[in-house]
Each structure stands twice: as C-alpha cells, then as structure tokens.
Chains A and B, each alone.
Chain A
Amino acid sequence: DGGITQSPKYLFRKEGQNVTLSCEQNLNHDAMYWYRQDPGQGLRLIYYSQIVNDFQKGDIAEGYSVSREKKESFPLTVTSAQKNPTAFYLCASSQAGDEQFFGPGTRLTVL
C-alpha cells in the first residue's frame, strides 16, 4: 500500500452523524483522490485535489466534503446528508498524470 495511510480501518456511524476519514501520504505527491467502492460497481470518484488548497468534485460528491490544507493530508467527511454511506473508502495519490497509489482503505458501516 506504499506510503499512504488511512485511518481508521473500520468505522461505525450512527444515523445523523458526521464522520471524518483520514488519509495521509509521504510520497510528496501533488494529487490526491477519494473513491468509494461498492460490490459490483467498481470505484467511483468522490473528490480529488491536484494541489494544496484546491479540490474538485468527482462523480458522486453529494453528501461528502473534503479539505486540502497540507500537501500530505486529504481528509474526507461523510455528512449526514449522505443517505447510503456504508461502503469501502479508498484514498489515492499520484504525481501529475502518473499511476495512482492507494491506501489500505476504511470500511464505513452505518448502524
């Protein structure tokens, strides 16, 4: 899983709660990404950031928020507006247009 860490590995959320997933990289990559993985649907892009203090919505950004205050960190908040948040969340980073390196993932379950 390279130099990308995600925490926690497992996360449980109650209805109406916001939760934040951590993603840190020590690869000195400019770009970072958040994906959601559901069985049979592959990976879907939530948000991405190509540079510090800038980020763009991906294909399924509704109910999620991000920040990019530091190059090495790209936390994802799953808000109460996300109606079906149970999924496996993957963070990745890359340098320019090169291959993306992925973290080990966080499995979020709504109780």
Chain B
Amino acid sequence: AQSVAQPEDQVNVAEGNPLTVKCTYSVSGNPYLFWYVQYPNRGLQFLLKYITGDNLVKGSYGFEAEFNKSQTSFHLKKPSALVSDSALYFCAVRALDLTGGGNKLTFGTGTQLKVEL
C-alpha cells in the first residue's frame, strides 16, 4: 500500500520569506512524486513532479521540491513567498512501477498555505 503524510494542516509565512510545505511518503519500490495546488472552488493544478535524477526539482511559479530518499520526503519550497501563493497544496505519490497498480495516485490531506503581508 502507498501513503502520503502532510503533517501540517496550515503553514503561515510572511511575504518575501522562504516557505516549506512538508510531505513524506510510503510506497513499494521507487516513487513517482507530485505536487499540486488548489485555489478555492477550483480543480488541482500540477506544479512539479519527481521521477528520477536530480533530487531538486523545479516547477511552476518559482516552486521547487527536494526529494530525500533516506527520509522518504518530498518537501515543497519557494525562496520568496507571495501573497498570491496562498492556496491548498497537495502532495501525491504512486509507485514508479505500474505493474498491478495502474496509475493510482495517493494524495495527502493537503496543507493550507497562508502568506501574509
């Protein structure tokens, strides 16, 4: 079975400060990891993904995420937060090997990011 944990329901940060949204995962074999963002009453928007290679992945809107295999983590980061980054963020995982599992993603419960002036 695969699972994702987002330990913080809400993260507050001042505009201009760096932000981190935490994610840890559990999956059989190598992971395929994703971050999505959701604005109120909207669908999810894809931010970035990790398959293999460089542990630091760069995505949309200046976001990046760091894959750490030993800690089974995939934290989302941004060097300088904007008020417009305020939204709900979801981490998701599936096994890289599709055998027997199809393309089923498992999502975390989400972290509400609030960026204040």
Contact = CB atoms under 8 A, between A and B. Distances in A.
Interface residues of A, number: 28
Interface stretch (A14-22, A38-46, A69-77): A38-46
A101 B103 contact: no
> What secondary structure prevails in chain B residues at the interface with A?
loop
B9 to A, nearest CB: 8
B71 interface: no
Contacts of A94: 103
Interface string B24-42: 0000000010101000011
B52 to A, nearest CB: 13
B43 interface: yes
A42 B34 contact: no
A78 interface: no
Nearest to B95: A97
Contact of B41 (A41, A97, A107): A107
B48 to A, nearest CB: 9
Contacts of A99: 34, 46, 49
B32 A102 contact: no
Interface stretch (B13-21, B79-87, B107-115): B107-115
B103 to A, nearest CB: 5
B43 A45 contact: no
A42 B90 contact: yes
Given A48-B104, A97-B32, A105 B41 contact: yes
A90 B43 contact: yes
Contacts of A42: 90, 107-110
A96 B107 CA distance: 18
Contacts of B96: 97
B43 A105 contact: yes
Interface of A: 1, 4, 6, 31, 35, 40-43, 45, 48, 50, 56, 58, 88, 90, 92, 94, 96-97, 99-105, 107
